[in-house]
């Protein structure tokens, strides 16, 4: 199983910016923990971060036919990007949205979420642990997908 973790704008500044909101962990530390979890669970994992909306859209599109799941923190683009929303919908890959802070308890403009309706699930407000929850969730989703495929294959074979 291959998972791609896509990180949006300013997440490269974790550990530096607004530690009272995002905590002291750096993005590299979060990715190291995710890589360890992936290795323990037989998952292949790739990381991508960009501050540019078009690069995030390109990366989502590159996942089509190549990966089993996407973990996405679109950061500020969550609230503004129809392009990212449309890319997620187009590739139809299980996508778990992650936000370090609880976007629902923050500024009013952060309560608008353009991408949640096309994501499989959303995890908000757990700090960096939210990425671990997303990895666990992705394992569950992939298990359900595999079980459904096996049931479908068995039904076809029985015909």
> What's the CATH code of the domain at 93?
3.40.50.9100
Total structural domains within the chain:
1
What contacts 88, CB < 8 A, 6 or more positions away?
60, 70, 72, 95, 115, 118, 119
Query: In this structure, what is the dihedral angle of CA atoms 98, 14, 83, 113, given to the nearest 10 degrees?
Result: 50
Residue 93: left (phi > 0), alpha (psi -120 to 50), or beta?
beta
22: annotated active-site residue: yes
Give me the domain span that covers residue 90: 2-158
pTM across the whole model: 0.90
pLDDT at 103 over 90: no
Residue with tokens 């790739």: 46
Task: Say yes or no to pLDDT of 118 above 70.
Answer: yes
Active-site hit among 31, 77, 99, 104: 99
Tens digits of per-residue pLDDT, 123-140?
999 999 999 999 999 999
Which residue in 22, 64, 77, 131 is the catalytic one?
Answer: 22
**What is the pLDDT averaged over residues 110-120?**
89
């Amino acid at each position: 199983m291959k998972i791609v973790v896509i990180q949006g704008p300013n997440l490269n500044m974790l550990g530096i910016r607004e530690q009272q909101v995002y905590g002291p962990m750096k993005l590299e530390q979060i990715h190291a923990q995710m890589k360890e979890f992936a290795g323990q669970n037989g998952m292949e994992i790739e990381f991508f971060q960009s501050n540019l909306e078009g690069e995030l859209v390109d990366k989502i599109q590159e996942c089509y036919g190549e990966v089993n799941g996407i973990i996405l923190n679109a950061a500020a683009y969550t609230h503004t990007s129809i392009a990212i929303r449309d890319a997620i919908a187009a590739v139809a890959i299980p996508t778990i949205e992650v936000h370090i802070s609880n976007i629902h308890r923050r500024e009013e403009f952060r309560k608008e979420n353009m991408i949640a309706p096309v994501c499989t699930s959303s995890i908000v407000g757990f700090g960096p642990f939210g990425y671990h929850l997303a990895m666990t969730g992705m394992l569950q989703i992939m298990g359900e997908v595999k079980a459904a495929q096996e049931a479908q294959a068995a039904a076809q074979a029985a015909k």
